[in-house]
A and B are shown apart, each in its own frame.
Chain A
Amino acid sequence: MDFLTIIQVLDSTVRLATPLLLACLAGLYSERAGIFDIGLEGKMLMAAFFSAAIAATSGSVWLGLLAGIVSSLLLSGLHGLASITFRGNQLISGVAINFLAAGMTVLIAQDWFQQGGRTPSLIGGGRFAPIELPFAEALSGVPILGPIYSELISGHPILVYLAFLAVPATWWILYRTRFGLRLRAVGENPAAVDTAGVSVVGLRYAAVAICGVLCGIAGAYLATALQAGFVKDMTAGRGFIALAALIFAKWRPWHAMWACLLFGFLQAIALRYQNIDVGGFVIPVQAMDALPYILTVVILAGFVGKAIPPRAGGEPYVKER
């Protein structure tokens, strides 16, 4: 494997890891506040559809992004309503959201565009264009660092940079702000937060809303930056891999980034090489595809440290009387 190939694989890693990272951080906010969310997939799918649909009809990708975020927020609101206000089962609400999104997107798309559950292809301003960072062209001749800067770091759509900036931002919000402290507390011991006179319901809704915004960006990235339009079921299980990454990262932002990059890297390798020959021993591509799940199971089984979810996760909060 020569240097250029490594750069290309890493470049592919960044592209593949971005939607995972956004969805993973979305799940992190929600689960840290004690609301399990397996509806990440559905929210991404809904956002992917509406961002592509609005971008296609208006010609503006920014309006598309906004529409994606709003649609994802609506599903988040639904999840919040079911699991916070009505204290329903969070897992079932999440599953319902996944089904709802899978069916509704195709139905609306068919009714709207008559193209068989997909949106028209986006052209021109309907897509996020890659951003060339300053000096990328000039520095590309510099050995080693030049290609790393011009190929790997420069030339991604703005949402990629946004996703990676969201990691330190999430760390700062969770560990350095009052809101973050309360958010974490409400996931561990909501009764204590309530005793302190802070609204548990309000905090949880805020967390679920942030989750919706991030999922919305993830969906918009899939449909308007990576692809040029929406295709049925285009999230293809990425919401679940993001959940696996979240567990793998033990609900911590920096670790989430590395987990997503690792999973993205595994996908990139699997896409680049069908079968990997390691000293006469051939690893089939299927093994690479399965690796994220295997790693997650290993982590869950407690082989590599313990993955302990937020203690109040999955439990609706009932004020004691």
Chain B
Amino acid sequence: MTFMKSLMGATAAFALSAGAALAEPALIFDLGGKFDKSFNEAAFNGAKRWADETGGSFREIELQSEAQREQALRRFAEAGANPVITMGFAMADPLSAVAADYPDTKFVAVDVTWLDAPNIRQIGFAEHEGSYLVGMLAAMASKSGTVGFVGGMDIPLIRHFGCGYAQGAKAVNPDIKIVANMTGTTPAAWNDPVKGSELTKAQISQGADVIYAAAGGTGVGVLQTAADEGILSIGVDSNQNHLHPGKVLTSMLKRVDVAVYDAMKAGADVETGVFVLGLAEEGVGYALDDNNASLVTDDMKMAADSARQKIIDGELSVVSYYDNDSCPALSF
């Protein structure tokens, strides 16, 4: 009996120490999938950079259905992962249900800023500011005076993107026509490149010659068709300029990778609260590299950079769609 006790005690101690040693971060990708060349891939890249630099390892899961959200959170929390990083606005409800049950676990929620829990680091991005800049670039690059916007699933976040974009385009050319479409109303809208292509063709026939895709995997179809039809496109979240060199005007960067990297680096001591990363924090921006150097002229760059500085200084404010659920420059 005593032997049994000590054995069990030893096992328990071992389990405890194992639990402490295994406090590795966990990353939950949203339905778009880990390699969507966009939002989730940016998170993966940030995590990979952390793993490469520190030699650490992280656990990950790609969600396949809505039902897995809460399950995945609980599994990681119970396995001792810390922090548990989640991607996407849709994790908000499961998080608010789960977070209180695991007070010692830190959660990091990307794209969620409205929860009230002491152990969640909530990271939002000022997508409207970044979109404003690419909207300016689009309007300056457009020769037809019409620019397009293809959103993924019709949710406030995507309208937020579109709204900033429209304001930026209108700032350059008040008479510009903006054609905006959403791919769908279900999560399937993040992965329907065929529909993305058709939307692009429809927008081209309405005169658009620069199209901004904020649509996850659907955006692959938008960029492809834009390149096929000889017009410019704008990528989103990750730098997508390399997908069609010389045909992607720029990409609206959302530095999810930095957010994930920082969270993993801080580990279990990650600071909680609400953080909104804008232009000033370099949380958003537009991509310039060899692939689009010939497309973005010095004038365009100067105009965008001066607007960027003005937004940072507070001289220029971009209206957020969230403020009153409507957009002054675009109706959806």
Contact = CB atoms under 8 A, between A and B. Distances in A.
Contacts of B192: 234, 236
A236 B33 contact: no
B131 interface: no
Contact of A271 (B41, B193, B199, B217): B199
B35 A227 contact: no
B195 A271 contact: yes
Nearest to B32: A232
Contact of A115 (B35, B181, B184, B201): B35
Nearest to A289: B184
B202 A8 contact: yes
B30 interface: no
Which one of B33, B198, B199, B224 has the greatest number of beta carbons of chain A within 10 Å?
Answer: B198
Contacts of B202: 8, 12, 268, 271-272
A237 interface: yes
A121 interface: yes
Contacts of A16: 194, 198
Nearest to B204: A8
Interface string A255-282: 0000000000001100110100000000
Contacts of B205: 4-5, 8
B197 interface: yes
Interface string B231-246: 0000000000001000
A195 interface: no
B191 to A, nearest CB: 5
Contacts of B182: 274, 285
A271 to B, nearest CB: 5
Contacts of A8: 201-202, 205
A117 B33 contact: yes
Contacts, number: 75
Given A227-B224, A289-B184, A116 B37 contact: yes
Contacts of A232: 33, 191, 217
A95 to B, nearest CB: 15
Interface size for chain B: under 10, 10 to 19, 20 to 34, or 35 or more residues? 20 to 34
Contacts of B193: 227, 231, 234
Interface string A207-230: 000000000000000100011110
Contacts of A116: 33-37, 41
Nearest to A286: B185
A112 B326 CA distance: 45
A20 B198 CA distance: 15
B198 A234 contact: no
B102 interface: no
26 contacts: A4-B205, A5-B205, A8-B202, A8-B205, A12-B198, A16-B198, A110-B35, A118-B220, A226-B194, A227-B193, A227-B194, A227-B197, A228-B224, A229-B224, A232-B217, A233-B188, A233-B191, A234-B192, A234-B193, A236-B192, A267-B198, A271-B198, A274-B182, A274-B332, A285-B182, A286-B185
Given A115-B35, A271-B199, 12 more contacts: A118-B220, A121-B224, A121-B243, A227-B197, A229-B220, A231-B193, A231-B221, A232-B33, A234-B193, A236-B194, A268-B202, A289-B185
